[in-house]
Structure 1
Amino acid sequence: MRRAEPESVPVSIPLVVLDVRKDGTVAVTVDGIRLDPDPFAPPWRRASFGQIIDRATDDRTTPARVEVREADGTTFTDIIATRRRRAPHPTPEPEEPTPRPAFHAVEGDGFVPGEDVAVAVVTGHTDVSGTGTARALVDPDRLGPDAAGGVVEVLLFGRISGTTIIRRLP
């Protein structure tokens, strides 16, 4: 009596082909089916490699064989492995919700009806040189609500009228 052997299933991983054109754009296929960028997005370029691989492998949950065909005829092939799955973090204790800051209204008169008004949070102050030139260095770490030593100032600037309003928030 012969024992039934299970049929072996060949291992198959998707083939992602990137055809790099002379202008730097890239045509992409996954198992022969075209993979386009999102609607209204610019065409794929060489710098889009990470996005292309993420889309083709469902955010790297599936391995893939990648073949890059350069415009000069050279070809590169690689296997992209899946990302290691991390153990799920234990469910944290629910924290009490942090109070959300209240909105502050900043108003001023003197603008042209319908004009575009720029809104800026003041991050600091600077002095003017003897030639009348002002220079400001903006530190991205100081762009929080306590940027001006606990006092927050808001500037409204009318792009047509030139009206400038500066208000301190409570």
Structure 2
Amino acid sequence: MRRHTTPPASEPVPVQLRTVILDIHTDGSMAVTIDGAPHPPPEGVPAWVRGSFPQVIDHASEDRRVPVRVEVHEADGTSFTELLPARPPRKTATESAPKRKREKPAAPVLVEVTGEGFVPGEDVACCLIVSHTDATPHGTARALLDPKQATGADGVVLVGRISGTVVTRSLP
């Protein structure tokens, strides 16, 4: 058999549910009451409107720290009720997990392929065609490949688009 006892004074108080009533008028304005007390719009605002709904809820729920029961009474006589739960408290920057040190990304490893005999400045295709490069003013072409691009390939072909020069190189 279980005995009922009065909880000690140190235990937290049960959650309170606030009630917000929104009476929508035919002109789109609305009257707001929170826990039975009228809640007028802020100074300089002539009346609450439907677009003010989030602002009213944030105020009534203390920025969603307290659950709220919302009743909306439309001008046509229809109404609906919604329960909006409180959100768990968000951690502050000091409470959040310690920041991890960002690791420097590793410098990219590239495969260099060079060839000669190209017309200075010409466009040189690099086959497996994953990129193009230009020949230097001395007629030399240089392609830098990411090893991931050359996966499974054992060679590269450089093709001069003007000169027709073809240079083949084996990949390491």
Length-normalised TM-score, structure 2:
0.47
Q: Hey, which of these two has a bigger chunk of strand by percent?
A: 2
Larger radius of gyration: 2
